[in-house]
């Protein structure tokens, strides 16, 4: 399945008339961006963990990928997850349509930034090197598959 299809579903839900649809739109939008980020790092040889650890893995590596747009994508992915958590878990707080719309747009922008990055070989090479350096120097580990 193409995770960008989740973004299409998010847009359809966001056009709905009720708060349940808007909240669900934010959740689908987050997972679209999350899975595109996962595919992006996987495509350059990184083993993204499964489960709860995957989110932190993705946003921290994007934030340390040595590219302004990728760092912004990482920051926005982390923000979007917070908004997804609000949408999914804080049912006692109102969730306005305009807020949902902004989050779906944020997810679309994350996907756009990631898609642009992987179409440029020089960016892919620089991103891979920067993430490897981050893992080696800061985390003292490597999650890149052997070449």
For 99-143, the pLDDT digits (tens) are 999 999 999 999 999 999 889 999 999 999 999 999 999 999 999
Q: With contact defined as beta carbons under 8 Å apart, do 14 and 102 qualify?
A: no
Alpha helices in the chain (DSSP H): 4-14, 19-43, 53-63, 68-89, 97-118, 121-134
Q: Name the pTM for this structure.
A: 0.94
Instruction: Calculate ∠ Cα 76-78-83, nearest 5°.
Output: 90
Tokens matching residue 85 = 């958590």
Percent of the chain at pLDDT > 70 equals 100
For 67-78, the pLDDT digits (tens) are 999 999 999 999
Question: What domains appear along the chain, each with residue ranges and CATH number?
Answer: 4-139 (1.20.120.330)
Q: With contact defined as beta carbons under 8 Å apart, do 23 and 120 qualify?
A: no
């Amino acid at each position: 399945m193409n995770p960008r299809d989740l973004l299409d579903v998010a847009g359809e839900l966001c056009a709905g008339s009720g708060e349940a649809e808007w909240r669900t739109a934010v959740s689908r939008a987050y997972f679209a961006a999350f899975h595109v980020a996962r595919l992006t790092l996987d495509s350059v040889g990184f083993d993204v963990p499964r489960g709860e650890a995957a989110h932190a893995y993705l946003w921290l590596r994007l934030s340390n990928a040595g590219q302004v747009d990728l760092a912004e994508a990482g920051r926005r992915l982390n923000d979007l997850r917070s908004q997804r958590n609000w949408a999914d878990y804080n049912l006692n707080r109102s969730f306005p349509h305009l807020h949902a719309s902004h989050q779906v747009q944020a997810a679309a922008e994350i996907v756009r930034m990631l898609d642009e990055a992987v179409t440029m070989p020089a960016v892919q090479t620089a991103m891979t090197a920067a993430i490897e350096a981050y893992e080696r120097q800061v985390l003292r580990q490597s999650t890149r598959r052997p070449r």
